[in-house]
């Protein structure tokens, strides 16, 4: 297996960012307000195919919850969820919980920190507002609609990060970063050690999106394989605003996975078979509420992704004790063993639909220099080592393709460990 060492070859990371950036670029002139009615008239045959697909992924519920934001949450029997339709999971036995949790290393974070005192942990989801939950033995799944699929380029592309060029057409060293439309502000590991997971706490905002086919996200990437080949494995989780995917501008909890460099495998959330959900209180793809406010309270979520050393499945947790579900080891090649790279940070799509840089915001929409209460942050960055221990990250490298539009600044402290502020407004006098 090829192991990528970023310390000795930073250019590989730049190539990877541009490679992921070459996905899902589709410029259309659509009002950012009218997110749902974006499709042209479609044929009866296409509608029939879409409805058949929806029947496959919208499993029959035993209970339905109407969310105040318009989402419909279906409570689906755990053993009937879409994940188990995957051919590699035909005989998979659902794991109720990981055999062991990652061990903590170092002291716990205290609660009397001046800067963190205004942070109110536990940003949750809008469908929880009326107090209704899915019954035990079921999992909450956001129902997909005809409009959701019609906003995508095609049925095949629905819920996927699409590539726009073939691998053999890509150059080893791109002429310029960000030219494909995706822009990043990230921190990444620089280690040759085997990695078995990562953790971070991220505050949640509602960045403004200019075009329906643009998005803004903040996430963790767990990576293994070649950045320049067809075999990259990636596990991803965080929050995103994506009008094309969800039909609105609300920040939502999301997951993603691929085992072939985003070519055919994987998808967002539960839009294809793969990720197995075990929690009956968290809906992947559902809106997060409440949110951080400028110069006000900060609401953040803690995401942990790690590999169960016993069975090899990659688990996702929220907070310190809440298990969401897992990506089965059967889905992956390189990640069936371990990860070689972790990235944390933000990403936006810039379509330049108006002939200038987009006004789509990253994070809070403010530059990192503005600091706490104004800029977005990732704090307490940790990785899981070969001993299944959570180890604070001592040093990270940072990267942003266009610092006049979106930037990143890292630092460290006793209470926040390694952390960084990131983001920006997009279009401004220095970013055209």
What is the DSSP code string of 194-238? -B-EEEEEEE------SSTT--EEEEEEEEES-TTSTT-EEEEEE
Q: What is the pLDDT of residues 282-298, one digit of tens each?
A: 999 999 999 999 999 99
Q: pLDDT value at position 106?
A: 61
Higher confidence at residue 315 or residue 13? 315
Q: Please tell me the distance from the alpha carbon of residue 416 to that of residue 151, in angstroms, as a whole number.
A: 40
Q: Tokens 């990506």 map to which residue?
A: 327
Beta-strand relationship, 119-121 and 389-392: unpaired
CA–centroid distance for 48 within its chain:
30
Q: What percent of the chain has pLDDT over 70?
A: 82
Cβ atoms of 191 and 48 within 8 Å: the answer is no
CA separation for the pair 246, 145 (Å, rounded):
10
What's residue 105's pLDDT?
73
Taking residues 308-333, what's their average pLDDT?
95
Q: Return the minimum-mean-pLDDT range out of 4-13, 141-150, 372-381.
A: 4-13
Q: In this structure, are residues 249 and 214 in contact, taking their beta carbons and an 8 Å threshold?
A: no
Long-range contacts of range 402-405, CB-CB < 8 Å, 24 or more positions apart? 402/177, 402/178, 402/183, 402/431, 404/428, 404/430, 404/431, 405/183, 405/350, 405/357, 405/431
Which pTM value belongs to this model? Answer: 0.86
Q: How sure is the predictor about 131, in pLDDT bands with cuts at 50, 70 and 90?
A: confident
Pairing state between β 314-318 and 298-307: antiparallel
**What CA–CA distance (Å, rounded) separates 175 from 182?**
15
Question: Hey, which CATH number is domain 180-423, 3.30.565.10, 2.60.40.10, 2.60.120.1270, 2.40.50.200?
Answer: 2.60.120.1270
Q: Please give the structure tokens belonging to residue 345.
A: 């940070």
Residues annotated as part of the active site: 236, 347
pLDDT of 115 over the 50 cut: no
Q: What is the pLDDT of residues 157-207, one digit of tens each?
A: 899 985 533 333 333 322 233 446 899 999 999 777 899 999 999 999 999
Q: Which helix (H) or strand (E) holds 64?
A: strand 63-66
What pLDDT does residue 180 have? Answer: 67
170 exposure class (CB count in 10 Å sphere: 0-12, 13-18, 19+): middle
Percent of the chain with pLDDT over 90: 73
Mention every residue, 6+ apart, whose C-beta is less than 8 A from residue 206.
Answer: 241, 249, 250, 251, 291
Structure tokens at 176: 């310029």
Question: Is there a contact between 420 and 409 (Cβ–Cβ < 8 Å)?
Answer: yes
């Amino acid at each position: 297996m090829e192991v990528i060492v970023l310390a000795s070859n930073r250019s590989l990371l730049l190539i990877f960012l541009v490679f992921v950036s070459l996905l899902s670029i589709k410029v259309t002139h659509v009002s950012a307000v009218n997110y749902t009615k974006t499709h042209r008239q479609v044929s009866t045959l296409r509608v029939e195919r879409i409805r058949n697909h929806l029947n496959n992924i919208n499993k029959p519920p035993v209970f339905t919850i109407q969310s105040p934001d318009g989402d419909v949450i279906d409570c689906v029997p755990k053993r009937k969820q879409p994940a188990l339709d995957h051919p590699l999971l035909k005989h998979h036995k659902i794991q109720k919980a990981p055999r062991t949790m990652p061990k903590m290393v170092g002291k716990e974070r205290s609660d009397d920190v001046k800067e963190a005192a205004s942070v109110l942990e536990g940003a949750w989801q809008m469908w929880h507002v009326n107090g209704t939950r899915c019954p035990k033995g079921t999992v909450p799944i956001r129902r997909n609609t005809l409009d959701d699929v019609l906003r995508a380029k095609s049925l095949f592309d629905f819920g996927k990060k699409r590539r726009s060029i073939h691998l053999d057409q890509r150059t080893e060293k791109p002429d310029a970063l960000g030219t494909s439309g995706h822009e990043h502000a990230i921190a990444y590991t620089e280690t040759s050690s085997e990695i078995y997971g990562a953790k971070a706490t991220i505050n949640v905002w509602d960045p403004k999106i200019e075009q329906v086919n643009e998005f803004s996200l903040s996430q963790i990437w767990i990576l293994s394989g070649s950045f320049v080949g067809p075999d990259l494995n990636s596990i991803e989780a965080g929050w995103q605003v994506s009008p094309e995917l969800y039909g609105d501008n609300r920040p939502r909890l999301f997951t993603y996975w691929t085992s072939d460099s985003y070519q055919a495998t994987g998808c967002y959330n539960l839009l294809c078979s793969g990720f197995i959900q075990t929690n009956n209180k968290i809906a992947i793809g559902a809106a997060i509420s409440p949110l951080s406010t400028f110069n006000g309270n900060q609401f953040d979520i803690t995401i942990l992704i790690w590999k169960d050393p016993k069975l090899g499945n990659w688990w996702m947790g929220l907070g310190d004790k809440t298990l969401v579900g897992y990506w089965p080891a059967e889905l992956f090649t390189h990640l069936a063993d371990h990860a070689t790279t972790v990235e944390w940070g933000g990403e936006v799509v810039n379509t330049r639909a108006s002939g200038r840089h987009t006004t789509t915001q990253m994070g809070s929409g403010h530059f990192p220099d503005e600091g706490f209460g104004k800029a977005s942050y990732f704090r307490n960055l940790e990785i899981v080592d070969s001993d299944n221990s959570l180890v604070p990250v001592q040093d990270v490298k940072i990267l942003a393709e266009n610092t006049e539009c979106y930037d990143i600044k890292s630092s460290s402290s006793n209470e926040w460990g390694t952390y960084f502020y990131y983001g920006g407004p997009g279009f401004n006098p220095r970013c055209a």
